[in-house]
Copies of this chain bind each other. A is one copy, B any other.
Amino acid sequence: MANSVDSIYGQVREMAANFEFKPEERINESALSKALGASRTPLREALNRLVAEGLLYAQDGKGFFCRSLSPEKILHLYELREAIETHAGRLAVARASDDELRELRDYLKSSQNEYVPGTPPHRLAEMDEGFHMRVVGLAHNPELVRALQNIYVQIRYVRLIAIRNKLDLTHTAHSGILEALMDRNADLVTQRLADHVRTSNEEATQTVRQAYSQLYVPS
């Protein structure tokens, strides 16, 4: 598994997630493969995986292109996220052991002192993602985790921008979700997750809208 395709796949996936390719930009296979120290063959295999994941798209005869993020697409991804996370929350209430919930509490506690101004955004996003992935992990369902990971990769870039200045709110929301989980209150877990995801969605959508407006309104 430490072969070339997997390695390239991971690297290009990160590049695509972070929009190191511009939206709609064509990916030059020769240049990228050279930059990654491989030939076009394994690169193209990795690119095809990323097409299947929705991070890139392919046009016959033209090559591979970076996806773009419209406000609508962000909305759609967040709706899918809400569907998965709320359902996972319900399952977690039924399936998570007390030990697992205590681990989640410890994770939240240990990250509490990092939810302060000065923490770099990528770290904030990482902690946020870490919490959510752990919650969904408590549903003991790898397919839910898998689907959610795919979404997070796609929205990571926007979250990274939108997450600034939301420190307290995020941590408070997470604490509320944990509390509802420990109370084994499925309805409350669902509601709080839904509220939290919707809030994030509004921030993210607004972020993309602003980015769009900046594109079309020259300075």
Contact = CB atoms under 8 A, between A and B. Distances in A.
Interface of A: 1-3, 5-6, 41, 44-46, 48-54, 59-61, 73, 75-77, 79-80, 82-84, 86-88, 91, 139, 141-144, 146-147
Contacts of A142: 76
A121 B101 CA distance: 44
Contacts of A1: 59-60
Contact of A82 (B45, B54, B80, B87): B87
A73 B143 contact: yes
B84 A80 contact: yes
Given A3-B61, A79-B87, 20 more contacts: A1-B59, A41-B41, A45-B45, A45-B48, A46-B48, A54-B146, A73-B143, A75-B141, A76-B142, A77-B143, A79-B139, A79-B144, A80-B144, A83-B84, A83-B87, A83-B144, A84-B84, A86-B87, A87-B87, A147-B147
A1 to B, nearest CB: 5
A128 to B, nearest CB: 20
A48 B139 CA distance: 28
A147 B147 CA distance: 8
A178 B124 CA distance: 43
A143 B80 contact: yes
A142 B3 CA distance: 34
Contact of A144 (B46, B76, B87, B144): B76
22 contacts: A2-B60, A6-B60, A44-B45, A45-B45, A45-B48, A46-B48, A48-B49, A48-B52, A49-B49, A51-B52, A79-B87, A79-B141, A79-B143, A79-B144, A80-B87, A80-B141, A80-B144, A82-B87, A83-B86, A83-B144, A87-B87, A147-B147
A60 B48 CA distance: 17
A141 B77 CA distance: 9
A141 B82 CA distance: 13
A91 to B, nearest CB: 7
